[in-house]
Structure formats: structure tokens, C-alpha cells
Structure 1
């Protein structure tokens, strides 16, 4: 069973690579067929086996012999690890598949945010639907204790972050209060809201704290006033650290 999830994770990782690259290039994820980004020649099906093709081709394009970016095998390997990780954390097979796919989407959104400083609305809402299904399989409809339900936690997380970021923007731009301020990052709000919906209040705050701490360290290291820091990669790191702590404890 673990071998199945390992292979499935590699395949999903290959799809994540396509999703990231084509979103950045503003291309369809359905067509055309995959091609080398350097020589633009269409790849054969045997060039597309996740991770194995990279090893057999010795990290070079089969046509132009240019080096293949390490991001491709890295994402495939990370997704494989995420699927195996989900297998060890969760018992129900359907919940494993949903949770692992959620983590894979988190990975894809992290790269999108890193390169574009923006994310796909479509995949944000796909993530929302998967998160809702995952919570329903775990807890069902929690009508008696609504404050602990998925939807309430999502609304709590979204409202809290919206007010927090609005307050910070107001303080930062107090002298320019008559001007139009920079709009709130909707992707960050939805992601943080989903984190509270999926992991609950305590773990949600822990993930948010870890993400803020890591982003602060990175911001201090970069030390550029006008640098726009992507937040979703740090939130994803916070999720992985939280899951690692949970698996150990």
C-alpha cells in the first residue's frame, strides 16, 4: 500500500509541475503536450515518467541536452513524501487521498505565490471543496457545536486576518489615509481561513505563528524595503512543521 501511495505521489507531483509551469506561462494545463522549455520540442511519453525519466536522462533534455531544472524532480519527490506522510497520519483511504491532494495543491500554490505573487482562484476553491469534504468525512455536520464546525472556523480565520491586515495597513498608511490603499491579498486570507478550517483553532494559530516567524527571518535576511514577500510558502512550511510535530507527539 505504501508503494502505491509513493507512485501516486510521484504522478501527482508531475501534474503539480505542469500546473505550476503553465500557470506561470499562462497556458492551458490540458493542451498542448509537454515540451522542453529550452528547445520547445514535444516530449515523448517515455520522457514523462515522474522522477525516473530525470534519472535515466541524467538530468538533461533528450533532444537539446540542456540541463533539466531540479525543481521538477524536487516537486515530484516532495509530493511522493507528502502522500506517504498522509498514509502514516490517517487511517481511512479516502481521507488519505483528499488530504494528500490538499497538500499537493498547497505546494503548487506556494510556487505560484513565489513566482507570481498571486495564486489561481480556481485552485483556491478546489482546495476549499477538498477541505470541506475532508472535514465532513472526519466530523460530519456538527450542528450542536457550530463554533467548532469547519465553516465557522473558516469564517473566524478569514475575519481575524482581514481585520488584522486592515489594522496594520491603516497604521502603516495613517499619513496617507485619504489615498486608496493597496488591496488586501485575498489569496492569503482564503489560505489562512482554510488552515483554521482544516486544523482547528490551536493548530491554526501555531501554523500562523510559524509562518510569520519564518517570513520575518527571511525578510530580515533580504532587507529590501520594496520586496513583496510571498506568504503562502511560509504557511505551507508551517503546515509541514505542525504535521511533523503531530506525528512525533
Structure 2
């Protein structure tokens, strides 16, 4: 579905991505993990067209989209729920979801809204509430729901668990699994919570200093000593595993 080859990108004279190669097959959940500043967010934003790739190519469903404007990329079926949620705080939940539907024909709106509200029942209760008054977990649900209103075939999620309580984190990851399995949406997930992300992923990549350092199945990387030492041991994986088993 998505093929990235020798991708280079950055901000002005600062190069953030150095020859990235990534593949995402239809129906997969792909996870990208790495430390802060590794270039994960830059990769997702470059796929969306901002910043623009300085070298390499991005091919989505057989079409090169490297130079397309962001709105045309969205219309081709790629949606992005960015880091930090970036909802419109003064708009209501309903208005935020309407913004997500801007790239789709209006006749789909009612069905898509019902689908999102079925997935996130909490949002149905808060349709007329301003986004800025929601809890952190509810805002993350709104950010994902807004992205789904664009009817994506590829959903890119940037740090969906950031700043959330453990119980809410488990709920968000369960929802991501449901979006993939039940709604047949391919997911490209950037996440610092390596334990949950790798448990969820079909395949995964590790990014270090703007380069892909490792790749494999989620299970392979979860068991890899180098990955555990770098991304799991500091996060008390034993406690996470115990919690997951409950």
C-alpha cells in the first residue's frame, strides 16, 4: 500500500531523515518506535507533504505522491492524527468531526459520523461540548475520530498514548486494534510506549537518528535484547507485562 524509498527530509539546513526505506502492506498495523528526536514525527509529516521530501519517493497504492499538495494526499485516503492531538479547542466535538470530513463527499457524513460515535461512545455524549473542555483521553478519541471522518485507507497515528493514564492507554490501543480488524483500516503507528506498540504490531521499525536501524515482526523486536534494553527496561516492562496479563 505504502512504499517509501531513500526518503530524505528536514527543516531548512537541518536534515532529519537520512535515506528512509519503509513498507506498509494493506491490512497491517506497522509500528515505528524510537527515542525523542529520532525523526518519527518528521516521517509522518513528510508523507503528508509538510515538510516536503528533499530526496527519495513516496508511493501510495501505486501512485507517487511525493510532490502532491497535502489536501490531495488526504483525498487519496491518507489521514493523520498528529502528536499532541491538535483538535480545535473552541469548536464543539461535532464541528471537529465535520472538519475531518472536509475531504469526503457530503453524502457520507451521516453514516461516517455514526460509525465514529459507535467506536467512541463518549464522544456521542459530548457532541455539543467544546473540544478544549474534554479530558486528555477524550481529546485523543476526538483526534482519531476526526481522522476517521476522512474515510482513510491508511491511518497514521502519532503518539496516541502520550500523557494518558494507563487505563486510557489500554482503551486507545484496543480501539486501534478494532479499527484495523473490524473497519479494515491499515494503521501506521508512531509510539514511544514500545511495549504496547510492539504487542499490537504485525511488523515494526526502529528509528535512530533519522535512519531505520532495525525491522522485524512486533514479536521479534519485543524479544530482541537490544530493543528491550533501549526502549523497554526503562519503562518497567515487567510491570507492563503483569498488567497486560490481568
The TM-score with structure 1 as length reference comes to 0.34
More strand by share: 2
The TM-score with structure 2 as length reference comes to 0.34
More helix by share: 1
